Amino acid sequence: MAVISNPSPEVWQMLGASSNEAPADPHTEPQDERQPLMEAQELLDLMMARHSARGAFDPDRPLDPDVLHLILRAATWAPTAHNMQNFEFVVVRDKSLLQRLSELQSAASPEFIKENYAQLSFSDDELAAKKTGLLASQFPPEWVSAEAQEGRLAPEPAPLGPQVSDGPVLMVMHYDPSRRAPSSEGDFLGNISLGCVIENMWLMATSLGIGFHIISSLAGEPLVGQVKQLLAIPEGRQVALAIRLGYELEDAQTPRVRRELTDFVSRDNWAPK
């Protein structure tokens, strides 16, 4: 667990403090009469505990309706551009429908696999040094081959399988692409809004001990048309992504890395990193 600590002198000055000003103690009581809703350390711990639950879920442990209500309630309070709240969810719990969705076949494109390869690290030390990306060991062996690196790997389509059928709940997020915030060319602000919605839900799920995993393939071709048909989503709406929710059978987390503040923050003017 990372503990909130005083920033280094370099970071402290970058954030606007003078060189002789002491960093504020993050654990002191606020001077304002208003009290915080929760401790900063508690919030940071929750953010750091959030992860993609890529492992198996317990098929015999359902999610109670009150748990789903809290996760969806968190979505309603996410910030959205112009407060448009341009999103809806189809909550899939029916086992036969989950099975039918799991039988849909998908394959990663050579372009995706090539671009994915460029983001990989091949050891824990390399990942720690880069501070971004994922470990190659998280992917099938053929995805880290010379063919993959050169964009020549074209896997055969395969069913989505247990990642969809074995979980208790799948949520499919969709929205109306004809609506957007003013002056948001390409609906850039709308896409940011969807991300805020997902983050709220993800943090709530994490606080409840619920695994949360985004499946983007259900929103892309050639699957999206079949998904819309199975879930009766109108043709004019756009599927953004799907979320599988459930209780993880085991801790399948891999090493996680993040950049330091000095890697992405500049003071007053941009400075190369």
pLDDT category of residue 22 using cuts at 50, 70 and 90 = low
Q: Please state, in angstroms and rounded to a whole number, the distance separating the CA atoms of residues 4 and 12.
A: 14
CB 237 within 8 A of CB 172: no
**83 is in which domain, residue-wise?**
50-107+158-246
Q: What is the pLDDT of residue 26?
A: 55
Whole-model pTM? 0.88
Q: Do 58 and 71 sit in the same domain of this protein?
A: yes
Q: What is the pLDDT of residue 259?
A: 96
pLDDT category of residue 206 using cuts at 50, 70 and 90 = very high
In degrees and rounded to multiples of 5, residue 133 shows phi and psi of 90, -165
Could you tell me which residues come within 8 angstroms of residue 138 by beta carbon, excluding any fewer than 6 positions away? 54, 254
Judge whether 100 lies within some domain: yes
Q: What is the pLDDT of residue 11?
A: 63
With 90 as the cut, is the pLDDT of residue 20 above it? no
- The pairs formed by 133-140 with CB atoms below 8 angstroms and a separation of 24 or more are 133/257, 134/254, 135/254, 135/255, 137/254, 138/54, 138/254
Judge whether 75 lies within some domain: yes
Give the tens place of pLDDT for each residue, 178-191: 998 888 888 899 99
Q: Do 242 and 114 sit in the same domain of this protein?
A: no
Domains identified in the chain, total number: 2
pLDDT category of residue 31 using cuts at 50, 70 and 90 = low
Residue 82, helix vs strand vs coil? helix
Give the tens place of pLDDT for each residue, 110-123: 999 999 999 999 99
Q: Do 77 and 144 sit in the same domain of this protein?
A: no
Give the tens place of pLDDT for each residue, 74-113: 999 999 999 999 999 999 999 999 999 999 999 999 999 9
With 70 as the cut, is the pLDDT of residue 32 above it? no
Q: Do 169 and 225 sit in the same domain of this protein?
A: yes
Q: Do 76 and 201 sit in the same domain of this protein?
A: yes
Q: Do 113 and 99 sit in the same domain of this protein?
A: no
Give the tens place of pLDDT for each residue, 212-237: 999 999 999 889 999 999 999 999 99
Q: Do 97 and 175 sit in the same domain of this protein?
A: yes
Tell me the pLDDT of the chain averaged across its residues. 90
Give the tens place of pLDDT for each residue, 50-66: 999 999 999 889 999 99
Judge whether 8 lies within some domain: no
pLDDT category of residue 253 using cuts at 50, 70 and 90 = confident
**Least trusted range by pLDDT, from 30-39, 137-146, 155-164, 246-255:** 30-39
Q: Of 127, 155, 183, which residue is a domain's last?
A: 155
CATH number assigned to the domain comprising residue 211: 3.40.109.10
Q: Do 216 and 88 sit in the same domain of this protein?
A: yes
